[in-house]
Structure 1
Amino acid sequence: MANYQKPNAAIWTGHQSDSQLYFHEKIKCIDLENDILPKDKKKRFGLLGYACDEGVKRNLGRVGTAEGPNSIRRMLTPLSNHLKNDIEIIDFGDITSVTSDLELTQSITLDKISYLSGNKIFNIILGGGHDLGFAHFNGLQKVYPNQTIGIINLDAHFDLREVEKEPNSGTPFYQIAEQQNDRFKYLCLGIQKVSNNKKLYETAKKLGVQFIENTEFKLQNFTSISNQIQSFINTVDLIYLTIDMDGFSSAYAPGVSAPSPLGFNPDIAIKTIKLICESNKLISADIVELNPKYDIDNCTARLAARLVYFLIEELS
């Protein structure tokens, strides 16, 4: 398949030990086209790359997110391993965009996510543009057709633009809303007024979207934040978590398509993710919009890698 690239084991190299002291030593590579998935009941986490920035390009953003997945992998590689021995972490390679056909890339991604989730693997998808959200959600809905999947998005943007000419990285959650109608459940954390026009706020209100703006999404407000998150969680059966790196302050995440100095800090993000993990409803997650082309000393990729590690640790 032209849009699939098997995992590159050469990325997962570094210090060697005889007791898996490093993250890269826990990684198993599986080719989705030729290898068979393990069938025992071991807890498994899957890393799948969405190496696509066509949606960002269509949205007039700064391209480069297609290199995001491997950038995150490289920053995961040297981390010390304090994870449980009985979990398995699998790199499934990348879905790539070899042409400008975003819809084909999304369709293939949807199928792979559905396949992995259906085999009880907890996916952490590495983006790539936020157009991944449309494919990711629909891949999960295919596995859980009769359950309400709530979306929690850590992001500066609603990504609720109406589709005018063609879908892009700014339209995924509007597309999902059109499909879901009354079942659409969406909570945005870190929304910035200057990054969302009045029409987007009107769309959010019309669709019943819940949100907390960046001025309030701070650690000192965590009691009220946690109450709102918990209230949202109580209304859904399952949770899909999506983390847009451009929601973070550019002091921590300069390597994104749309950097902002007034984004949120890692401390509130980590505490929020922990709360979501503790709900026992989280079924899949992704990290999007990392653009290595504009990163500084890999600090955005390092932050993304730590978020991946934290998710695995909390869910193990």
Structure 2
Amino acid sequence: MSIYKLANTDNWFGRTSDKQLYLHEKVAFTNLNEPFPATTNTTIALLGYSSDEGVRRNLGRVGSSMGPDAIRRQLGKMPNHLDDGTQLLDFGNLECNNQNLEELEKECTNAVSHLIKHRTTPILIGGSHDLAYAHYNGLLQHIKPKEKIGIINFDAHFDLRSNTNGNNSGTPFYQIAIDHNKKGQSMKYMALGIRKDANTKNLFEFAELHKVNYLYQQYYNMNYLEHVQLRIIQFLEDVDYVYTTIDLDGFSSAYAPGVSAPSPMGFSPDIVIESLKLIIESGKLVGLDVVELNPKYDIDDQTARLAASLIHYVIHKI
């Protein structure tokens, strides 16, 4: 069994008001193991994936297990522009027990399915990118047989490594591709910000074989905005729903120094915001996560602030 911990309310703080002007005054706390609270037309469910076991197995810099709470500490201080009919619920954290990553993934899948069943929009905060396999499978349980769910991954890496020696932060989309192959289906996967210096040639070969829709980092910037928008629109037209995952190590380390695999050669926040705008306006977004924050290496909470700002944008846009 993984370890489930309720949210620590001390991680939500900031200026105070009598009008819920800040998110720490808006958020409510609840428990996955108790009867689900009454929800509104728009209910956002935060769930932390407090594990860096996948990063450890993938030979990265450990520390992302502290990511979820670091994001909460920045998000709570931000202004609240949500209307009264929108709920923001914090369901706490799932933690890896005895390095049993596979068990954690199963329980995370069940948790996401539970959140979807009760008509919430799950936003997972991590934590290593292996959570993508769990998140996707939880969403998939609620997709009808003839419907298609696409994946849009903001990342420098394909994360298509083989899991022959066990699951890790570099294997989630390989696992999804293999699962779909066993069913005679194809994975619908778009990766934005891919770098040649971050992926081996066999990963590119696997991506081509499985018809992964990807865009190189050098073309994923505001200078190519119209091209980026067209590629995203074309992808969105071919699916019924979209699961979106943002790996913070895809950003340049100028914006995100506190990650498991930093590089100065990444993308910038402005193009990501423009991309998220299109995804959300399509009405097809069913789940989102932000992963690979490593507070151990962050500078002035810069990366945590970036993660929180992205979540702030999404919850107000939906």
Shorter-chain TM-score: what band? Answer: over 0.9
Task: Please say if residues 153 and 188 of structure 1, whose CA atoms lie closer than 8 Å, have aligned partners that are also in contact.
Answer: yes
Look up the match of 1:201: 204
CA distance in 2, matches of 1:142, 1:183: 17
Look up the match of 1:111: 110
Q: Specify every segment of 5 or more residues in structure 2 that has no aligned partner in the other structure, as ranges.
A: none
The amino acid that maps onto 1:247 is G
Matching of residue 144 in structure 1 with residue 140 in structure 2: no
CA distance in 2, matches of 1:62, 1:10: 27
Q: Which moved more, 1:135-144 or 1:81-90?
A: 81-90
Task: Please say if residues 2 and 107 of structure 2, whose CA atoms lie closer than 8 Å, have aligned partners that are also in contact.
Answer: no
CA distance in 2, matches of 1:162, 1:299: 32
Look up the match of 1:17: 17
CA RMSD of aligned residues (A): 1.1
Matching of residue 174 in structure 1 with residue 174 in structure 2: yes
CA distance in 2, matches of 1:185, 1:262: 26
Per-residue CA deviations over 1:198-224 (Å, capped at 9, x if unaligned) read: 000000000000100100001111111
Secondary structure (helix, strand or coil) at the match of 1:215 reads: helix
Task: Please say if residues 148 and 183 of structure 1, whose CA atoms lie closer than 8 Å, have aligned partners that are also in contact.
Answer: no
1:32-43 alignment, distance < 5 Å: 32-34=32-34, 36-43=35-42
Look up the match of 1:155: 155
Per-residue CA deviations over 1:168-195 (Å, capped at 9, x if unaligned) read: 1111000000111233100000001000
Secondary structure (helix, strand or coil) at the match of 1:183 reads: coil
CA distance in 1, matches of 2:216, 2:286: 25
CA distance in 2, matches of 1:82, 1:29: 19
For residue 220 of structure 1, the aligned residue among 223, 234, 245 is: 223
How far apart are 1:98 and its partner, in Å? 2.3
Per-residue CA deviations over 1:114-147 (Å, capped at 9, x if unaligned) read: 0001111001100110000110000000122422
How far apart are 1:16 and its partner, in Å? 1.8
Task: Please say if residues 46 and 125 of structure 2, whose CA atoms lie closer than 8 Å, have aligned partners that are also in contact.
Answer: yes
Matching of residue 267 in structure 1 with residue 270 in structure 2: yes
The amino acid that maps onto 1:3 is I
Q: Specify every segment of 5 or more residues in structure 1 that has no aligned partner in the other structure, as ranges.
A: none
- Provide the aligned length of Structure 1 versus Structure 2: 314
Look up the match of 1:27: 27
Query: Structure 1 pair 111/164, CA: closer, same or farther in 2 (3 Å)?
Result: same
The amino acid that maps onto 1:263 is G
Secondary structure (helix, strand or coil) at the match of 2:219 reads: coil
Secondary structure (helix, strand or coil) at the match of 1:200 reads: helix
Look up the match of 2:5: 5
The amino acid that maps onto 1:168 is N
How far apart are 1:10 and its partner, in Å? 2.0
CA distance in 2, matches of 1:41, 1:85: 10
TM-score normalized by the length of structure 1: 0.97
How far apart are 1:164 and its partner, in Å? 2.2
How far apart are 1:2 and its partner, in Å? 5.3
The amino acid that maps onto 1:234 is E
Look up the match of 2:290: 287
For residue 185 of structure 1, the aligned residue among 177, 183, 188 is: 188
CA distance in 2, matches of 1:4, 1:75: 22
The amino acid that maps onto 1:173 is F
Percent of pairs with identical residues: 47
How far apart are 1:77 and its partner, in Å? 1.2
TM-score normalized by the length of structure 2: 0.97
